[in-house]
Structure 1
């Protein structure tokens, strides 16, 4: 299938957008009229530039308020159309998007609309152009793709077909199954966009909050399968109005867009060749903390009972282990404050996972490997975190001089890794982890912190072995930090051992424990133990959750969690307390 994207999806000038689309690997573009109007280049220069870049110009859009009008108004429509059709000839574009009328329509009559589209078709045919008629979700009379198709049928003109837009169909809750009743050769164009589930007026939702496939809540794979069942063979094109994408680097956004389209096409069974399969990760392999000085982090690990796993024989990194939980401390001059630099996943087929990442345009990360060392493939996530794809922990044997953990209280696995996302890459991060690692998107939550709302989107494997909350913090939040949560069978016992080794947990206010006694039927002695150790508590219908936070070192802190029963959350009610304590 051919790929295309509307220039409205990207920031920058029209020529900059064309270069970004070509660099990403798109086959063609839709030209958004305001982009052309603002361009200093002539239509002929734009056409020549696209040809040099190997791009086709697939659609000119939008042509508004064309049908359902009085004859006097339609005369003005034909005048406008004549100028646009002549312009399209200069650009070499053969399809014009005509949106259903939202402003000047005065006649709610399918016969009138069809007659006017037929006359537009006559004019377009003289210029070698086709009319693709689209039902806008907020059209004055025509707001349903099924009615738009009936009008096209009534027009009965070879140059008049329909355009299907996933947003206009799915945002209205219309059943896309009826698309299969439209002959594929009468679908002149297809536009795809995802969107979050929001309760707001359709126009604002569309103009500001569309997303690329895989970043929102629409079933775009099912939608696309209905379209392809008609025999449609035109481009799969993205039309995404989004305030963030209009402010960010167009080359990066174009790569993000093509990644989404390849992932969607693969899910619908039309990506050629298919993407290499990617099973969900079996678990975390390791987490890497990088800093100019990692000693404060290593002190925390030792206080939490981790054993020193040794120094790497060829790299300046040190390993700390506790059961299957492995944290690598990478001390590099000039690296700055401590941060989570890499996350390693255990995957069934690292070669296939790396090949899939390449097809999905994930930037490769270079890693020097010497003879006898395990090759670990890595790519960069949108926030810069390095993602390693390995089969097992065979690399542990490359570390010498280790010693065992200090106790057996059960912090044996990594429970979850919480990554803070820059606002401009948040949606891209969701798509990245869903498409590359096949992680499932859980419901999004918002937590009120002292510096504003914190949005959290959990990505996880179906078995829960990999859990990854992605947090979007308020702009300028001074408590920006990422963290690793470690599983434990006895958080109170571990906390006592850790405090005995010098750990100073994140301080929790006394008011919190008074509130615990009011909210839950807890043993007061237990609450006093938690108060003395800085342990927090949550409970739902499925179980209980006890957890402990360390103080922040640089941009990193650690958490120890104990899940009882089938508790599957992350202690969200306690997040405001934690955020306030980190800001104190």
Structure 2
């Protein structure tokens, strides 16, 4: 289906919004009246600009407080409408959005409302324009789509239809049965369809609407079922986004527009309207790549954790460090982001790397050019919204190129110490997102990689709110790979909360922590007050809590008896490491301990 977006979704001037919309790949645009009024371009120039960009103007909006008003007020409304229709004719727009009235003058009289909307449609028809009537969720007398349809049906005018808006319908807590009435509306009378999602929040619906809408797939509303009902009713117009969001209004219009179009492509797939290449869900983390201009601090830290350098790249200044199934690439030939060691790339274990890359391209993931010699193993890679490179790998797979073939092996003697205290693999990787890309990053990883979301968690940071959302590849929401997307309190947050981190698994965290400390690695110091609170909340074996206090091990237990023990290294540049031990099916990430950890990192 054709895809459109309202200019109110994007930041910038009208010209900037139109350019971003076209570059993202949209077919059309809704012109929000405030954007037109603030533009120095005439309607004719805007029309020409849209034509040059390959955009149609699918809707002009909004017109408010039209129906159910006293006659003298309605006469003034018709005069206002005539001006709008003339502007629309100059723009080349043929559909006007009319919102249900919130005027204190409006009366609860469906016959009056139908008659006045019919008179408005008469005038619109003279200009070759249609009127799409929409029920606002906070409308004074008309607040539901079925009520709006009854009024339109009573009016019986060919130039009058309805606009169905997913937010206004679903925000009222609509059950699946509440959407069945859409089938009673003839498809040709659904003049327009507007789409938005939103996080589930207990607040005034008007404030919810004006500040917290997001693109489909980024919130908690069932936009997919809503679209199915509308299309099954016979609607064949564009899928159009209308999102009011404080973050989007400040973010780069170009990346927001791409995020918006990706949401519609994914929505078409979920609603069964347009197939995409099937998701190829990663099975684990092949490697994490750290870039640094000064490798010594991080190599000392890796060595202290028990990693060994097992290979050097045959053509680049990149080292391979391994322990168990955990692999770190240390790249000291690539510039970092200006503040030391940084996590710049992830290799994801993929059963079919080429198919994963094909899906990523279909969902607008930017394919990254890779500088390589003729001997280098070819790897498909794309960029995540925060710039992290994602490589699709099949490590030591007989049917796919093995990326480890680029490294000349180094032989080391067997590792000493207890195997129970060794690192065995990567548990999860936590990526701190730019403040304006959190929702975009969640949607990207869900749709491109086919991961499953956990509930969003808001945590108390000493200097603000720290938002976190985990994504995983398993049907139980806890299987590898696990990615955790974090949003730091502010763009200027300090290193402790801006850092990315890699969590490694071990079968015995006490042995691991003792071995790591004996190797000279400093673990994060946790206040005694934390352990006194633990003692009050949980029963421990004699001496167990004292051991955790000594080593800086944090503890969490879920309501099913699953246990989580974890500790942290100091931060090097923008990276720190976590050691974790999961028992009893624990599927979380120790969120209850995060405020203590964040405060300790601040110190």
Which band: TM-score by shorter chain?
over 0.9
Q: Report the equivalent of 1:495.
A: 513
Q: Report the equivalent of 1:45.
A: 45
Q: Report the equivalent of 1:552.
A: 571
527, 540, 561: which is aligned to 1:509? 527
In 2, the alpha carbon distance for the partners of 1:567 and 1:111 equals 60
Q: Which moved more, 1:357-366 or 1:188-197?
A: 357-366
Q: Report the equivalent of 2:214.
A: 211
Structure 1 moving runs of 4+ over 4 Å = 404-407
Q: Report the equivalent of 1:453.
A: 465
In 2, the alpha carbon distance for the partners of 1:453 and 1:111 equals 50
> Are the counterparts in 2 of residues 517 and 524 from structure 1 also a CA contact under 8 Å?
no
In 1, the alpha carbon distance for the partners of 2:6 and 2:64 equals 17
Q: Displacement, 1:549?
A: 0.5
> Are the counterparts in 1 of residues 316 and 333 from structure 2 also a CA contact under 8 Å?
no
Q: Displacement, 1:105?
A: 4.3
- Flag the 1:245–1:333 CA change in 2: closer, same or farther, 3 A: closer
> Are the counterparts in 1 of residues 461 and 489 from structure 2 also a CA contact under 8 Å?
no
Offset from partner CA, 1:511-538 (integer Å, 9 cap, x none): 2222222221112411122222221111
In 2, the alpha carbon distance for the partners of 1:141 and 1:294 equals 67
Q: Report the equivalent of 2:390.
A: 387
1:499-538 counterparts in 2 under 5 A? 499-538=517-556
In 1, the alpha carbon distance for the partners of 2:129 and 2:8 equals 22
1:330-341 counterparts in 2 under 5 A? 330-332=331-333, 334-335=335-336, 336=338, 337-341=340-344
> Are the counterparts in 2 of residues 306 and 322 from structure 1 also a CA contact under 8 Å?
yes
> Are the counterparts in 2 of residues 418 and 471 from structure 1 also a CA contact under 8 Å?
yes
Q: Report the equivalent of 2:224.
A: 221
Point out where structure 1 has 5 or more consecutive residues left out of the alignment. none
182, 193, 204: which is aligned to 1:190? 193
Superposed CA RMSD: 1.4
Q: Report the equivalent of 2:254.
A: 251
Q: Displacement, 1:297?
A: 1.6
Q: Displacement, 1:270?
A: 1.8
Offset from partner CA, 1:28-75 (integer Å, 9 cap, x none): 000000111111111111111111111100000001000011111111
Residue 414 of structure 2 corresponds to residue 414 of structure 1: no
Q: Report the equivalent of 1:398.
A: 406
TM-score scaled by structure 1? 0.97
In 2, the alpha carbon distance for the partners of 1:100 and 1:225 equals 24
> Are the counterparts in 2 of residues 483 and 559 from structure 1 also a CA contact under 8 Å?
yes
Offset from partner CA, 1:329-379 (integer Å, 9 cap, x none): 111264340111111111222222212222222222222233343211111
In 2, the alpha carbon distance for the partners of 1:116 and 1:402 equals 85
1:12-91 counterparts in 2 under 5 A? 12-91=12-91
> Are the counterparts in 1 of residues 395 and 404 from structure 2 also a CA contact under 8 Å?
no
Q: Report the equivalent of 1:314.
A: 315
577, 583, 586: which is aligned to 1:567? 586
1:229-308 counterparts in 2 under 5 A? 229-271=232-274, 274-308=275-309
Q: Which moved more, 1:89-98 or 1:517-526?
A: 517-526
In 2, the alpha carbon distance for the partners of 1:452 and 1:253 equals 25
Aligned length: 582
Q: Report the equivalent of 2:324.
A: 323
Q: Which moved more, 1:524-533 or 1:312-321?
A: 524-533
SS in 1 for 2:480: coil
Offset from partner CA, 1:163-213 (integer Å, 9 cap, x none): 000000000112223212211111000000011111111111111111011
SS in 2 for 1:443: coil
Residue 482 of structure 2 corresponds to residue 474 of structure 1: no
Q: Report the equivalent of 1:152.
A: 152
> Are the counterparts in 1 of residues 11 and 17 from structure 2 also a CA contact under 8 Å?
yes
In 2, the alpha carbon distance for the partners of 1:314 and 1:27 equals 45
In 1, the alpha carbon distance for the partners of 2:25 and 2:37 equals 25
TM-score scaled by structure 2? 0.94
In 1, the alpha carbon distance for the partners of 2:593 and 2:358 equals 40
Point out where structure 2 has 5 or more consecutive residues left out of the alignment. 397-401
